[in-house]
Structure 1
Amino acid sequence: MGQMRDPVASQRHSGPDSTALLDAGADERWTYAELDRAVERTAGRLWALGVRPGDQLGVLADTGPDFARVVHATWRIGAVLVPLDTHLAERELRERLACVDLVALLAGRPHAERARSIAEVPVESLQASATEPAEFVAEDPPPDAPRVMLFTSGTTGQPKAVVLTGRNLVSSAVASAFRLGVLPEDRWYDPLAGYHMGGLAPIVRSALYGTCVVLPDRFDAGRALSHLHDHEVTGVSVVPTMLDRLLDAGEFPESLRFALTGGAPTPPELIARCEERGVPIHPTYGMTETASQVATARPAEAYANPDRAGRPLAFTRVRALDGEEPLAPGEPGELVVSGPTVTTGYYGDPETTDRVFGPYGFRTGDLGVVEPDGSIRVLGRVDDAIITGGENVHPADVARILREHPDVEACAVVGLPDPEWGERVCALVVGEASEAALRAFCEGRLADYKRPKTIAFADSLPRTVSGTVDRETVRDRLAERSERLE
């Protein structure tokens, strides 16, 4: 892999008249020739602001055509894109800015005032500017030059800037294409935020493929479903909660080839809904540090094994470790990922970088199993493991058994402090099953120490914005239940 020309410039020559970008809200579209001219002007503006190859450019803006142009413009001049979460409070934004070394910050109109209050660098409007574009020479940086830095807090709660190189992004795009397939008429609907890898990836990948990315101004299930039909969308990236709402909204278009779910584990009951409705769901296990997908299941795999995330993508290897020792297939341990999509580390944080990398690759902090057939089963975070009476209990194993009960729609399993056993297994259940019925159901299916000692019921599981079960809220509800029983 030699010097890496920016994707839009490449597509200007190979497919200038192909549709590159479609604004679903305004129903506007750009060919690659038109997008190339817009990217060139944006890159000239950045150059006039003093942004140079290797410089870090912050962006505080909603995802849309303007954001996409900046993504490609930073690549064109060899700068590093640093998207910021628009929902964060000013204090949280300042914490992230302290982790990086921006030379300028672009802000969308709704966020301009906040940007000026937090930034110690020049702040420029994303949409319009008095700054005239300057002449510049496009930079074709080496593959391992940083292209983007995305923030993650992991289990520590402290923000860390994940460095992703051109090699990471291109390798991820290629591996994803091998798993999902790519067709010239593809249109990838992307309602996810560009400050997350799941939202940024379709913008970059579609340009690499020479296909079209469809960007809505916001996510509303009804409007999104109309967009899927109106624009004959072939693929969509969503978190599980979004897909659930889309299923509630109506029927999917026949054009849809894949519905890629990530950002949180895909509940088996959602996979069952997709099978019943004929929706081509592709559950995914991935993370920022691997430029998105690690493993992805095709629909038939997902329907047959809804508790698994499919097999690793091309060029990616996943192992389960016990400490520093690789485990045999089928044994649970910490998942470790290696391959060309894996980050080079965290910017300005060599201590954390050294801690998470070992001889077998990047230590994810996720507890999981590499099955004998190579598929991945994620059990949760290593820190979520319940230790009761000296025995390890993996919450996902208990939840899987509980979900087999016909009257259980969903459940979450956590540990609570116990004066005798250290921790006890507890479950929050959605469904019509009774506590007595669940206790009887677990006999013969779970070892005694794995059976929930506290069971509570709810109309729905509390979830985070991304659709992940909010385990702290689950613990609080179960703790309240325990206190009432004492």
Structure 2
Amino acid sequence: MTDDVDLSPGDRVALLLPGSTAYVELVLALLAAGIFPIPLDPRLTAHERERILGGLEPHLVVETEEQATALAARIPSVPADPGDLLPRGRPMHVTSGTTGTPKGVDSGLLGEAQAAALVAEERELWGFCADDVNLVISPIYHSAPLRFAMGTLLAGGRVVGLDGPGGFDPATITATIQRERPTTMFCVPTHLQRLFGHWDAVGVPDLTCFRLVAHAGAPCPDAVKRRLIELFPDGSTWEFYGSTEGQFTACRSEEWLERPGTVGRARPGRTLALDDDGTIWCTVPEHARFTYYGAPEKTAEAWRDTPDGPAFSVGDLGRLDADGYLHLDGRRTDLIISGGVNVYPLEVENTLREHPGVEDVAVFGVPDEQWGQRVCAAVVGSAAEAELTAYVRERLAPPKRPKTWRFLDELPRTLTGKVRRDRL
């Protein structure tokens, strides 16, 4: 693969670059030309790159700013204003790969009408407009922060927080809020916890500039959620549930207050349905469908026909209440079967998060000769094993109570906040 390779609609370009506004503009320009960027962490090792890219067959790999500048200059018909672009698909993000080989999520080339519908759907839901200033605090190669940044530029707004040293630093983010007065921000609960801790020490900045603060990626502790609602303007805070493959729900915090723990109802244009075991299926509009690149068998497993149209699942489990609000129970791959009883780690984690001495927790199963699997809990915080054992004895049935406790300084997480259970 050489830098001067000819690119055509449908081709793929791997981007292993630090985040910047120019990065987002390049992604938009590639998509407008029908070329699919594959955003990846520039810190990947050679082994990781080979593992991920081997199955995606990129026509070009871009690793330096000089290569990116040269590529941007070669893309035909790129207007000066990103708002004049029409992306013909979504970036080919890859699944996290924590439970197997990462898979490329391929939206396919969209016709003009479907491409316009893709842009309009995000704009209508999140209200992107020319006055928006999107503060990016998450790695831009991940799907959610890139989606919010792209939506902002396409609406004529601007993006801040990218053109600096990079990395999550609460002091830098606080200064950016004070200087740039952003209107929107996507974050994960870990970001909120660190920001709130910093603000407890230095004072809370003026947050009245925000009209939208959306969080996702991991369960949000109750205390963090309530602090978020308290600090930011009324009606500005949201949670959504989605995956690399697609988006399921959106939920205003005011709805969450009425139904604590919910991740909301189906987004417009989508419907939710559950199997008997709780597996969540979601129908989506034509412009939001996908395949796994080069993996037809995995694609077939992810989709099925329903009366409402094709529906996909990523193996998550949940419950729907009478009004259609979804509550998550975790992932099927995380399910623990102990003594023949299904144990959902998320239920145990949510119980433990209510203990004042627990700052963070992850529950997982390990093989056990007597029970099949034994419930284990990794805890960050000041609580001692004896008090947690007594605490869960009062609140959880015997099969759900952790039999083994680990106490850590921090949980292993991806940069989007997901716990790396494979490392636990």
TM over 0.5: yes
**Corresponding residue for residue 272 of structure 2:** 318
Quote how far apart the aligned CAs of 1:409 are.
3.7
- Map 1:66-465 to 2 at 5 A: 66-109=22-65, 125-127=67-69, 146-154=89-97, 156-165=99-108, 166=110, 173-217=119-163, 218-219=166-167, 220-250=169-199, 251-252=204-205, 253-278=207-232, 280-290=236-246, 293-322=247-276, 333-340=278-285, 342-360=288-306, 361-443=311-393, 445-465=395-415
Amino acid at match of 1:200: L
Change (3 A) 1:213 1:169: farther
Amino acid at match of 2:216: G
Change (3 A) 1:409 1:65: closer
Change (3 A) 1:424 1:79: closer
Counterpart Cα distance in 2 of 1:447 and 1:470:
26
Moved more, 256-265 or 438-447: 438-447
Looking at CA atoms only, which structure, 1 or 2, has the larger radius of gyration?
A: 1
Q: State the identity %.
A: 33
Q: Counterpart of 2:27 in 1: which secondary structure?
A: helix
Amino acid at match of 1:272: R
Counterpart Cα distance in 2 of 1:309 and 1:171:
24
Q: Counterpart of 1:263 in 2: which secondary structure?
A: coil
Quote how far apart the aligned CAs of 1:305 are.
4.3
Task: Check conservation: 2:375, 2:400, Cα contact below 8 A.
Answer: yes
Counterpart Cα distance in 1 of 2:210 and 2:254:
16
Counterpart Cα distance in 2 of 1:422 and 1:50:
55
Counterpart Cα distance in 2 of 1:461 and 1:153:
17
Change (3 A) 1:132 1:168: closer
Moved more, 270-279 or 344-353: 270-279
* TM-score w.r.t. length of structure 2: 0.82
* TM-score w.r.t. length of structure 1: 0.73
Give the total of aligned pairs.
398
Counterpart Cα distance in 2 of 1:405 and 1:153:
30
Change (3 A) 1:415 1:257: same
Moved more, 366-375 or 179-188: 179-188
**Corresponding residue for residue 64 of structure 1:** 20
Counterpart Cα distance in 1 of 2:231 and 2:346:
26
What CA deviation, in whole Å up to 9, does each residue of 1:287-326 have, x standing for no partner?
1111xx422221223445453322221112222223xxxx
Amino acid at match of 2:68: L
Counterpart Cα distance in 2 of 1:163 and 1:367:
24
Task: Check conservation: 1:269, 1:410, Cα contact below 8 A.
Answer: no
